[in-house]
C-alpha cells in the first residue's frame, strides 16, 4: 500500500499547468498535449478517501486505453499514447462543462431517488412501478454539470442549452455519441458475461472537432452486473452481483458516511483496501478477458516520471 500513488508533483518540459482531480492528475504541456496520470486515489460521494488502492490507477488507465481504441470509429478520442501503465498522453482539448451519464437500468443513485418518490431525472420521466435493478425500455441520458469542486449537479438538456453550457448542435452530437458508445460498450461487456449498467462520458473540443476525453468503461466511471444470475436475482428482489464502486459506497454508508457537509470519511482498514484492489483487478480481467500484469511499483513515482519524460523527449 505504501507504493500506491496518492499524490504527484512532476515538473515536465513545456509544462504550463497541472489540474488535480479526484483521481487523475492532468499535466498541460504547451496547450498541445495532456499528460494524464491515473493515481491510486479513490473517491466516493465526490470525496477522495484517505488511502490509495494498490494498482487501481493501472487498472483504470489500461481499461480506458482498450476502450478508447475499441470505440475510435464512433467518435475521435484524445488518446495518443500510453507511455506508462498509469499514464495516457493525448490531445489538449477544451472540455465541455457537462458529463454525459447514460443509464440502462434503475440502480444506484437513480434508484435511491426513485425510492424517495422522484419520477424525473434530469428532465427524463421515469415510469411508476419499476423495481431496483430493472432495465429501462431504452437507455436514458441524465447529464450532470461538471463541478471543479464539490458535487456534480443533475441538469436537463433544456437547461444545458438555455445556460449556454453547450450549443444545441454540439449537445445533439454528444447525445448521439453517448448512445452509440454505450451500445458498443454493452456489446463488448455482453461477450464477457457482463452487463454494462450505466456509465459516464466526457467530451472536449479542439479545432472545431469534438473528441471523447478522459476514461471510459472503467469501474470508476461505470457499473457492471454479472449477466449470469441477473434475471433470477431480479425476480427474487435480491442484490445483483456487480463490479463497480457501488460496494465501496455501500461500505461507507454502513459506516454512516455519505459525503454530507461536516462528515469525515472513515479510515479504510488494510484488509478492506486490499479487497478493493482485488475487485478492481477482477473487473479488469473480466471485461478484457486478459490476465492483469502487475507493474513494478518498487519505485513507482520515478518509473512514471521517467516514462513520461522519455515519451515527451521523442514526441
For residue 248, tell me if it sits in a domain. no
For residue 274, tell me if it sits in a domain. no
189-209 residue pLDDT tens? 999 999 999 999 999 999 999
Residue 298 CA to its chain's centroid (Å): 27
Regions of the chain where pLDDT drops below 70: 1-2, 147-151
Tell me what pLDDT residue 148 has.
60
Judge contact between 39 and 52, C-beta under 8 A.
yes
Tell me what pLDDT residue 155 has.
94
DSSP codes joined into one string, 3-40 = TS--------TTEEEEEE-SSEEEEEETTTEEEEEE-S
For residue 265, tell me if it sits in a domain. no
Tell me what pLDDT residue 3 has.
83
- Domain span at residue 197 reads 95-243
52-107 residue pLDDT tens? 999 999 999 999 999 999 999 999 999 999 999 999 999 999 999 999 999 999 99
Tell me what pLDDT residue 170 has.
98
| Cell numbers at 55, concatenated | 494498482
Q: What gap in Å lies between CA 295 and CA 309, rounded to an integer?
A: 18
For residue 197, tell me if it sits in a domain. yes
**Do strands 33-38 and 222-226 pair parallel, antiparallel, or not at all (unpaired)?**
unpaired
Tell me what pLDDT residue 64 has.
97
CB atoms within 10 A of CB 63: 25
Per the structure, the count of domains in the chain is 1
pTM as predicted: 0.90
**Do strands 24-29 and 15-20 pair parallel, antiparallel, or not at all (unpaired)?**
antiparallel
Tell me what pLDDT residue 313 has.
96
For residue 60, tell me if it sits in a domain. no
CATH number of the domain bearing residue 234: 3.30.470.20
Amino acid at each position: 500500500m505504501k507504493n500506491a500513488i496518492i499524490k504527484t508533483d512532476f515538473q515536465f518540459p513545456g509544462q504550463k499547468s497541472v489540474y488535480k482531480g479526484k483521481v487523475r492528475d492532468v499535466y498541460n504541456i504547451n496547450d498541445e498535449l495532456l499528460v494524464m496520470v491515473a493515481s491510486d486515489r479513490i473517491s466516493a460521494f465526490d470525496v477522495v478517501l484517505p488511502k490509495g488502492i494498490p494498482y487501481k490507477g493501472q487498472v483504470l488507465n489500461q481499461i480506458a486505453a482498450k476502450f478508447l481504441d475499441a470505440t475510435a470509429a464512433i467518435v475521435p478520442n484524445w488518446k495518443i499514447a500510453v507511455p506508462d501503465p498509469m499514464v495516457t498522453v493525448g490531445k489538449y482539448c477544451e472540455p465541455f462543462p457537462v458529463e454525459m451519464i447514460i443509464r440502462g437500468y434503475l440502480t444506484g443513485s437513480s434508484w435511491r431517488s426513485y425510492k424517495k418518490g422522484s419520477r424525473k431525472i434530469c428532465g427524463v420521466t421515469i415510469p411508476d412501478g419499476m423495481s431496483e435493478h430493472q432495465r429501462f425500455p431504452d437507455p436514458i441520458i441524465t447529464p450532470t454539470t461538471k463541478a471543479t469542486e464539490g458535487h456534480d449537479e443533475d441538469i436537463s438538456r433544456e437547461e444545458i442549452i438555455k445556460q449556454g453550457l453547450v450549443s444545441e448542435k454540439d449537445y445533439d452530437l454528444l447525445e448521439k455519441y453517448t448512445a452509440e458508445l454505450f451500445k458498443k460498450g454493452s456489446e463488448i461487456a455482453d461477450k464477457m458475461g457482463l452487463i454494462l449498467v450505466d456509465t459516464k462520458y466526457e467530451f472536449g473540443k479542439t479545432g472545431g472537432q469534438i473528441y471523447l476525453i478522459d476514461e471510459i468503461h472503467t469501474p470508476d466511471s461505470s457499473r457492471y452486473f454479472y449477466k449470469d444470475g441477473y434475471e433470477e436475482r431480479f425476480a427474487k428482489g435480491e442484490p445483483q452481483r456487480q463490479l463497480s464502486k457501488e460496494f465501496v459506497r455501500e461500505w461507507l454508508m454502513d459506516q454512516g458516511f455519505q459525503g454530507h457537509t461536516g462528515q469525515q470519511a472513515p479510515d479504510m482498514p488494510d484488509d478492506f483496501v486490499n479487497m478493493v484492489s482485488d475487485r478492481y483487478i477482477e473487473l479488469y480481467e473480466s471485461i478484457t478477458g486478459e490476465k492483469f500484469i502487475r507493474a513494478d511499483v518498487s519505485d513507482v513515482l520515478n518509473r512514471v516520471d521517467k516514462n513520461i519524460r522519455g515519451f515527451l523527449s521523442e514526441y
